[in-house]
Structure 1
């Protein structure tokens, strides 16, 4: 990877001491901006106010209150204005529930930088860096910008964030004359933003900051791409559009009819406005948005932080998971897995000698792996000779318990074998073992040792007369629980494909271990897949592992699967995964190990980096989708009779059934019920089987039949109750009370039937709905404010009986579960 440096930035690469002055910093910042690629997320009271002002109920109450004030009905105007407070309070509560905080994650992404300014080293926020700054990064520190290495020895960098590769990369100071001769600079001279220095201390000259860094370019590119709306978003938008047009036509017709019936202008306007508010489907987008917000919270409990709420819909419909290997299926760290000791030693002795030549403070993943594997830590080093590219080995000298000096050296097998007293046959045997391990993707080092005569030692590094100790083979271990998660996906019909840049032998070993393809994974090289996709995109459905893949190919695989109708989830942790994460229906980044760029473009961030959390998140998504369907069923079953009764009774020449205050009452019941009861229904805790090749429908024909049947039945009960209670005396207030009670009781019984009363929230809402009806209707003072009169015993009997009758149809959804509980024999009976 070579990066271009514009001519105007080829500055001061031969100066290792001089930083920028305050004036130069100010000029550079004016030209290049701050070192920041993150936008500011919207939030706070302004967003709350903006969302609240979009609520049509708010403007309905304000408008009708003004209308009553104009005609002199001050009490009614005040009552409607007072009704604003619970509605605004409910909006604020629900708004808060729909926002998932990312402050904890963002707190990890605020690095500082050590920079030379005005001949003084100081620590500043990384966002304040500018091109031309001279920065210093120590072992364990992250590079805050893209910079050229000017000084440093034995520099090793963890670039897995960019490449997905677990092994460290060597970096070297650039020669000024080489930098000035070409605008293209090789990767060995770059310290890139988002990568981490493992060993040594480096001074670097900043070249790119913010969105111009490699990291920033990818994030900017990904965030500028637009996402198609999900099928459910389109369905909700279409439904709202149709209902709005229908409501508008119905309202205009009703206003004209009431005017022609001689009821006056105020009656006509109230009729139209009331029907409009009853008919406007503002609950559907509100419920959809709320459920997405609830999904964010529920997935967060599963260690999945959602960054784009609409993905909550998609995750429950995933059919294929394209997973990165390093850091996702594997742990993203080195571990000693094979110790091949020479015939005269055992494994622990081999590890002991290797640990003598390892430095825990170096931050080198290989040294850390060796020190974690050794049973007994060696004595403190007497002398150390660090690894260099020229020597390709590291040597340590310790004094053992007998006071003798022991020398151990580890490094490239060819180098260590050359230092060892072995014949040619033995040397070829060990080289063959090295080739065998390397072919399966292991990182192999050799170790040798000898005793040192302190009296004859001159102080230099010994380089001959060693006894060969053996070979250590390291690999990146598989995460715990991945095999179980993949098995559960397979049983549910979700296809898991591991996409990796590794050697096919390494990929096969990992695929076998985690159970891809049922334990016998089909492995194909990425180039071969790309060629075959041109003829048969569905070819990917038979592939379990794709090896030797590059980022652009990952993106092509995701698009090919989507072209076959799959809902694709992509997991990854590095910058190399960003294009595929962005294109996926569900992009899932690792939160602990993942790069900032991967986290920023991904729709979901796994906070525990556990592949098994993906399965839990998909199961949670399936539950949320089911709960959303139940909430919409409730809305349709209650709104249908509300709109029909609000229109049919005035059309028939009767007095208005619903006054504005009645709509407020009903909204205070319908809104919380739809939003709170069904979102809290518990998760199944397991994946439900998916059905490939079938068009996903929100409701099937039988479900639509049930919705229409229940809505029609409730409408019939309302009309009958209204006419029955109106009586010969034409007691409109009594008739209104009867219709309102019948509708609220039906709301409670439908809620109970659809939810199964499985949660405390469901019980609370049902009981509060019934209690509120009794209080508002039966207490004379309150009922007079609502322009209704208390009901008689027979009225309550009709309302309760009708509600129980209505609940029978939606309750049928529990029949299969009851039959399953009873068992096969009882079910047959």
Structure 2
């Protein structure tokens, strides 16, 4: 809450019942602005299109598709244009997401407000409020601005959407002449009044409110490209420049060699088709789509497809407590009756002290456990409602013989003081209260006494009560959370609980969840200061406000962590926006949290996060294998397509051969490397914010394999030329390259899926058909091979292609059994 009273803007108004005149309100509105806490002017489609068209990846795909269309390869052009659709959709979504999220934030605010103007109470749009206005808010209504409580009794406010605390917060009027205001005197925009009727003096409006500050933090984040997107863009750029340079060089050299213009153009165009790296963005988009589908099967709805990349690299989860680790509701967990009563009798007596129309979550939790009163049954004779000063509520009920039964509930220390208990007995009850309070529970005490007929104007009875017992409430831990925390720990993923609750309450929940091995280390952000060593050891951050949650995420990111933030409230919005992965609760979460999050858990189960991370890590492994395959096959294809013509020899590949090879390469890269995560295991993660897609040793293995295949293809070609048959030379070279592709597919995918086996078999079958069937061989300018020639191609191709397995062995990430993940499924 705000720290100081803005005495200058409220001068002469604090402590009075005066409202503003319309003229005064107009002057203040001109000075302070409208009470527009969330401003979200809808962008035009042209603005969205302009932002989306800034993505260079889209222009590369569009230009490449145009080139293939010009070359007459309509199938290739169509594939590239189809790949534009999800990429354009993702960019448009990212730019519209801010607008959608601010609309979700606005849905929590009051649309109208009852305000005193020109001496009369009137209802106005909340945007018309100005500092100094006197506003009245009733039970169940939203607070329209940040204001100081002027009058009201029994005020309880739901602040969970701002602070993260699930329990109601009591409020009381600002004392006359006060120069400072405690949090209990403030009511904030975006919160909801549960009980009582409050009159408030508006102090801050619009962007100056706490809610407005949350909106500012939530929408100011950038949509930076992910490391993998940047790596692919760099790789595509390098390959594109190299391919164009080699094409121009090849055309010039063929002309100088005297082969003619047609031969020079054919050589350059063939090499261009072979060398242009259009598969990489296509494969990336396809794998993201597959990841989205597989995460949806695990009850994790991906709202931003590129989040599939980052979730596999998550190293730290910052989890909200209320509604994420806990159920976000009050539940009765203990009934502690006094001597002479049983648990049911205590609950029945407690129900007499509750009102069904109070809006108090405690009353609702108690009344939900007892049988409803018969229709037409008499109600209480009189109720003395709860106030902060008295800290109790008393109801008078008719009893037998014209007597009256008084039932009271309230703070244990208040109720115990009303009862006739021996000192040692009272001390024993106080010890029990302290024990439950230390465990983060809310404890309510109950007592009753019988009175003679009571005068309606008589004061509330304040002595002679018989103590009835205690009811203990808690926000219960969600099922499966403890197992999920253990699974994260075993997978090397750090979990930090972030909450606005008191450290004692937070410690109790964290201990129950198993954080810190059952002995969680709890601190506030103020206590942590700038001590990075202390931050590295903390398990729970308590008393966190939205700006501090955002600061925590940013500090962890600066330490190199890949941070996922889970949450369900408006208070989580800035952190969800800033995190590498924002994860919202689909059932209990607010609209704003779902709009801002990259992933929404459809089952609100913290454990689902672990399964989603396992899917993300496996997808990264699959994508690595697919890209390694593309590089291993493309490198010899491009080198041989360039080196043979540069040496002045007949063209190795004709356009039909390039089309054939591309028809083999595309489905293999897309379909053969789609392994699901093994049951009970998780692939190792790439650590660090700049984790390389391939390490140096993996690159060395890929280049070595590509050069080995290149040498094998050139040797096979030379063997055919040595026999005096250019067609035989071309056939041996093609057979060697295709078999090397089959071998690379087999070792990188381990043929672990039916699709991988089918793709490898189809590639080998196409080679046999196009070579051994004379009519087909003639059509593609090849010829059938004999057994010895097949053996040469098989040894050269399968042997060198199998070297692709070095890209996994040398990467430092061998395919070994990882730590088991209990409950990851």
Q: TM-score, normalised by structure 2?
A: 0.77
Tell me which residue corresponds to 1:750. 744
Q: Assess if the C-alpha contact under 8 Å between 1:194 and 1:595 holds in 2.
A: no
> Within 2, Cα distance between the matches of 1:652 and 1:4?
84
Equivalents in 2 of 1:230, 1:553: separation in Å?
Answer: 24
Q: Within 1, Cα distance between the matches of 2:301 and 2:11?
A: 42
CA-to-partner distance for each residue in 1:387-440, whole Å, 9 max, x for gaps? 334543233456789998654221123443344344555445544544444344
1:498 corresponds to which residue? 497
1:826 alignment partner in structure 2: none
Residue matched to 2:252 = 256
**Residue in 2 that maps onto 1:167:** 167
Determine the C-alpha separation between the residues in 2 that align with 1:41 and 1:687. 44
Worse-superposed segment, 393-402 or 609-618: 393-402
Determine the structure 2 residue equivalent to 1:792: 784
Write out per-residue CA displacement over residues 597-654 of structure 1, whole angstroms, 9 at most, x where no aligned residue: 5555554444443222222222222112211211111111111122112211221223
Which residue matches 2:73? Answer: 80
How far off its partner does 1:583 sit? 5.0
Alignment of 1:191-340 (within 5 A): 192-199=188-195, 213-226=209-222, 230-340=226-336
Q: Which residue of 2 aligns with 1:645?
A: 640
Partners of 2:267 and 2:651 within 8 A in 1: yes
Query: Quick one: distance in 1 between partners of 2:816 and 2:680?
Result: 21
Alignment of 1:140-159 (within 5 A): 154-159=154-159
Cα separation, partners in 2 of 1:723 and 1:333, compared to 1, 3 Å: same
CA distance in 1: counterparts of 2:62 and 2:189, whole angstroms: 49
1:633 to 603, 628, 634: 628
Using the TM superposition, name which of 734-743 and 309-318 deviates more.
734-743
State the match for 1:620 in structure 2.
Answer: 615
Q: Kindly report which structure 2 residues correspond to 1:24-173, keeping only aligned pairs within 5 A, or say none.
A: 35-37=38-40, 54=58, 56=60, 59-60=63-64, 62-63=66-67, 79-81=72-74, 84-89=77-82, 91-92=84-85, 110=107, 115=112, 131=129, 154-170=154-170
Pick from 336, 352, 358 the counterpart of residue 356 of structure 1: 352
Q: Is the 8 A contact 2:109 2:143 kept in 1?
A: no
Q: Which moved more, 1:331-340 or 1:623-632?
A: 331-340
Other structure's SS at 1:313 match: helix
- Which residue of structure 2 lines up, in the alignment, with residue 382 of structure 1? 379
Rate the CA distance shift 1:615–1:141 in 2: closer, same or farther, 3 A.
farther
- Asked if structure 2 preserves the Cα contact closer than 8 Å seen for 1:483 and 1:514, the reply is yes
CA shift in 2, pair 1:49/1:174, >3 Å: same
Shift of 1:115: 3.6
| Structure 2 CA distance for partners of 1:16 and 1:802, relative to 1, 3 Å | farther
2:822 maps to none
Counterpart CA distance in 2 for 1:463 and 1:561 is 56
For structure 2, the residue ranges without an aligned partner over 5 or more in a row are 819-825
Cα separation, 1, equivalents of 2:140 and 2:775: 73
Equivalent position SS for 2:73: helix
Q: Deviations over 1:791-824 (max 9, x none)?
A: 4254994667766545544468999999999xxx
Contact map agreement 2:583 2:599 (CA 8 A) in 1? yes
Q: CA 1:538–1:413 in 2, change beyond 3 Å: closer, same or farther?
A: closer
Bigger drift between 335-344 and 56-65 goes to: 56-65
The answer to whether structure 1 residue 394 and structure 2 residue 393 are counterparts is yes
Q: Which moved more, 1:237-246 or 1:131-140?
A: 131-140
Distance 1:568 1:146 in 2: 32
Report the 3-state secondary structure (helix = DSSP H, G, I; strand = E; otherwise coil) of the residue aligned with 2:277: coil
Query: Which sits farther off after the overlay, 799-808 or 250-259?
Result: 799-808
What is the distance in 2 between the residues matched to 1:729 and 1:130? Answer: 92
Q: Answer with 424-433 or 325-334: which moved more.
A: 424-433
What secondary structure sits across from 1:446 in the alignment? strand
Aligned ranges for residues 355-754 of structure 1 at < 5 Å? 355-372=351-368, 374=369, 382-383=379-380, 385=383, 386-396=385-395, 406-422=405-421, 426-451=425-450, 458=456, 463-464=461-462, 465-523=464-522, 527-530=526-529, 533=531, 537-547=532-542, 558=553, 561-574=556-569, 576-577=571-572, 580-581=575-576, 583-595=578-590, 598-599=593-594, 602-659=597-654, 663-679=658-674, 681-682=676-677, 684=679, 686-688=681-683, 698-700=693-695, 703-719=698-714, 722=717, 743-744=737-738, 746-754=740-748
Conserved? CA contact 1:114–1:123, under 8 Å: no
Are residues 227 and 706 of structure 1, via their aligned partners in 2, closer, same or farther at CA, if it must alter by over 3 Å?
same
- The answer to whether the 8 A contact 1:406-1:450 is kept is yes
**CA RMSD, 1 decimal:** 5.4
Provide the TM-score with structure 1 as the length reference. Answer: 0.77
CA contact (8 A) 1:335 1:476 kept: yes
The separation in 2 between residues aligned to 1:99 and 1:676, in whole angstroms, is 27
Give the 3-state SS of the residue equivalent to 2:468 in structure 1.
Answer: strand
Following superposition, the deviation at residue 446 of structure 1 comes to 1.3
Match of 1:347 in 2: 343
- Could you list the per-position Cα deviations for residues 705-737 of structure 1 after superposition, in whole angstroms to 9, with x for gaps in the alignment? 5423442344345445555667878666x8667
Once residues 333 and 268 of structure 1 are traced to their aligned partners in structure 2, the CA distance between those partners, rounded to angstroms, is: 75
Residue 348 of structure 1, CA deviation: 2.4
Distance 1:713 1:122, change over 3 A: farther
Aligned to 1:69: none
Paired with 1:197 and 1:540, the residues of 2 have a C-alpha distance of: 36
After superposing the two structures, state which structure 1 stretch, 34-43 or 150-159, moved more.
34-43
Distance 1:309 1:6 in 2: 50
The answer to whether residue 756 in structure 2 is matched with residue 762 in structure 1 is: yes
CA deviations 1:731-773 (Å, max 9, x no partner) are: 66x8667655654554455334422344454355446656666
Runs of at least 5 residues in structure 1 that lack an aligned partner in the other structure: 67-76, 822-829
Distance apart, 1:441 and its partner CA: 3.4
Matched residue of 2:379: which SS? strand
| Alignment length (residue pairs) | 793
2:823 paired residue number: none
Distance 2:10 2:774 in 1: 82
In 2, Cα distance between the equivalents of 1:50 and 1:804? Answer: 44
Q: Deviations over 1:115-168 (max 9, x none)?
A: 47999x9999x9x95656999977556557767889987543211121122221
- Name whichever of 657-666 and 490-499 sits farther off: 657-666
